[in-house]
Amino acid sequence: MLTSLIMVALGGALGASLRFLWGVAFLRLTGPSEFPLAIMAANVLGSFLMGVFVVVAAQKGLTHLGPFVMTGLLGGFTTFSAFSLETMTLVERGDLGAAGLYVALSVGLSIGGLMLGLWLARGAMA
């Protein structure tokens, strides 16, 4: 149990750090935006990577890395707490259309990213 907890903590620290760097890089590439595109993109990418990891881990006997990769690394990188905050910020600004679009795209594309990751990884592992 302690080993798993340490792995989650290490993965979480790495994932959160990568998420921060992702946001900085996105800001530098795209400039400031009212729409939280960087967080949405992080959630989609993280979901895609989760799908790939699930398949690879199952096929290669690496499920023991789940706490580090899925809960820690990808949990720290995919920021649904930030997603919730950004959604409410849009709502509080009165931009309900952007809030609805953000929620629909974030959830839909993240699920799509996971499905694509599963599909690609299963094809590669066949």
Give the pLDDT confidence of 80-106 residue by residue, as tens digits. Answer: 888 999 999 999 999 999 999 999 999
Q: Residue 88: how many CB atoms within 10 A of its CB?
A: 11
Q: What pLDDT score does 126 carry? A: 84
Read off the DSSP letter of residue 73.
I
To the question of whether residue 11 is assigned a binding role by annotation, the answer is: no
To the question of whether residue 46 is assigned a binding role by annotation, the answer is: no
pTM for the whole structure = 0.85
Task: Find out whether 27 and 38 touch, Cβ atoms under 8 Å.
Answer: yes
Read off the DSSP letter of residue 61.
T
The whole-chain average pLDDT of the chain stands at: 95
The set of residues, in sequence order, having a beta carbon less than 8 Å from that of 125 and lying 6+ positions away, is 55, 56, 59
Maximum CA extent, the chain: 49
pLDDT beneath 70, residues of the chain: none
